Structure 1
Amino acid sequence: MGLFSKDIVVPPNTAGVVFKDSQFQEVLGPGKHRLPNSESYLTVMLPQVSKMLLVTNQEVLSKDNIAFRFSYFVFYRIADPKLFMEKVNFDRNGYNMIYEAEQKLQALIQIEIRNILSGLQSEELNEQRSSLTTLRTDRMDAVAADLGLELLDVTLRDLTFPKNIQDLFAKQLESKIRSKTDLENARTVVATARALKNAAEMMKDDENMRFMHYLETISKIAEKGKHSFVIGDRELWKGDKS
């Protein structure tokens, strides 16, 4: 380090934004850098890793005027340090500026999410909550980019209805399951009846089947006591078909 210069170390996953007399100069990457040793130079460190913002207990009305609450995650990173610095109030502490940017991002994304969810019926929200996990839109990307940020994802954390509405959904689900079970049982009964009818038709038209049924009947009668049976010619049993 010389008398007229000083070393600046930018940590890993960080960008160093250099200002001279409050005017932007350059963005430094991780590593050691030499800058003039002057109070007119200032370096603000901004993290480049992805960050997570959790927004909870947001209340909105569905399309059919049912109130519900939702929470969501916002994942983002500072993509353009220079633009980012232009969009927030200057502060030597980079984290204060990050907080300000997050508040702006949260407000704009919240409006977009409310518009999405309020356009759905409560029943649709309940049935599609698993497919609504990703809420990121092109408009959200544009809002983030305008702040010098890259929006990585917007994910629905949870969505809850009032207790009485949850009970209605539970009863509706129970009714659907019962109806499905009744339908399956009815199909089984019809299939069984059809099988019995087909078997009866086979026994009616097949002489061997008729004879086996005849023997089975005799066996059942014999099991009940001592009986004597006189069985004549099978041709007589079949009857006169002339």
Structure 2
Amino acid sequence: MKKTFQIKANTEGYLFRKNVFEKKLEAGIHKFWDWKNEIDVITLPLISKLLNITNQEVLSKDNIAFRFSFYLIYKIIDGDKFLKHFTLDRATSFIIYEAEQRIGIISQIHVKNIITNYDSEELNDKRAELSGLKKEILNEQLSEYGIEIEELDVRDMTFPKSIQDLFSKHLEAKIRAKSDLENARTAVATARTLKNASELMKDDDNIRFFQMLETISKIAEKGKHTFTIGDLNQITQTKK
């Protein structure tokens, strides 16, 4: 009896004869004589897969309870190691499901151990530090399964409403303080400029003269006035 196995694109087949691994099969159609029904093929994905871990509850370093979600992208890099850890008398989809359950549990513990080292306020301020979540350490744990984590990051964090309100008030206070500081700096700079200007005008005859002209112009705008500019004795002698 001849058996036909289809290995889809982006997958790799593992041929077992009498429940013993024999060889790998590339994508394509493969036919084998199997008189005693002793051949079976398991296919594993060659591409990366996304796994979402949602609604995890944890305590921060300052004992604030909150929930978070994260995602990871993993890839089977060693099919031989991978298959040694799972029961192979089921469909591939069930094998992958069991593998993802193990990956999920291991990664949850890993991420929680990282997040619990931060105070609740630090989790907001130092979000960038969480990027990657030390995936190298997680990969050391998963290497025995022939699995590698390519990407790992937090998706979102949800704090209780009361804590969110406190964060909001704290942020508002910080913004207000920053605005007040900028206003104070502007006031100091303006005062310094005015002081320098007054010092400059105090000993400058030309500036005083122009100030006097400006004052005369303002007075003249309000009605008819007679102004005498200069030494009065010199003006009298000139008229004579």
Length-normalised TM-score, structure 2: 0.90
Q: CA deviation at 1:31?
A: 2.4
- The 2-side partners of 1:137 and 1:14 are apart by 25
- The 1-side partners of 2:109 and 2:138 are apart by 10
Of all paired residues, the percent bearing the same amino acid is 50
Instruction: Point out the more displaced range, 203-212 or 133-142.
Output: 133-142
Instruction: Say if 2:31 is the partner of 1:17.
Output: no
C-alpha contact 1:136 1:153 (8 A) present in aligned 2: no
Identify unmatched segments of 5+ residues in structure 1: 237-242
Identify unmatched segments of 5+ residues in structure 2: 235-240
Tell me the residue number matched to 1:217: 215
C-alpha contact 1:27 1:82 (8 A) present in aligned 2: no
The amino acid that maps onto 1:12 is: A
**SS of 1:63's equivalent?**
coil
Tell me the residue number matched to 1:239: none
What pairs with 1:121-136 in structure 2 (closer than 5 Å)?
121-136=119-134
Instruction: Say if 2:35 is the partner of 1:31.
Output: no
- The 2-side partners of 1:233 and 1:33 are apart by 119
CA RMSD of aligned residues (A): 1.8
Tell me the residue number matched to 1:176: 174
- The 2-side partners of 1:76 and 1:36 are apart by 36
- The 2-side partners of 1:187 and 1:231 are apart by 43
**SS of 2:84's equivalent?**
helix
Count of residues in Structure 1 that have an aligned counterpart in Structure 2: 232
Instruction: Say if 2:188 is the partner of 1:190.
Output: yes
The amino acid that maps onto 2:48 is: S
Q: CA deviation at 1:11?
A: 1.5
Instruction: Point out the more displaced range, 52-61 or 23-32.
Output: 23-32
Tell me the residue number matched to 1:107: 105
Q: CA deviation at 1:179?
A: 0.7
Tell me the residue number matched to 2:135: 137
- The 2-side partners of 1:147 and 1:91 are apart by 18
Q: CA deviation at 1:136?
A: 4.0
C-alpha contact 1:89 1:97 (8 A) present in aligned 2: yes
Q: CA deviation at 1:68?
A: 0.9
C-alpha contact 1:136 1:155 (8 A) present in aligned 2: no
**SS of 1:228's equivalent?**
coil
- The 1-side partners of 2:46 and 2:135 are apart by 23
The amino acid that maps onto 2:44 is: L
Instruction: Point out the more displaced range, 181-190 or 220-229.
Output: 220-229
Instruction: Point out the more displaced range, 119-128 or 216-225.
Output: 216-225
Instruction: Say if 2:40 is the partner of 1:48.
Output: no
Tell me the residue number matched to 2:237: none
Q: CA deviation at 1:94?
A: 0.4
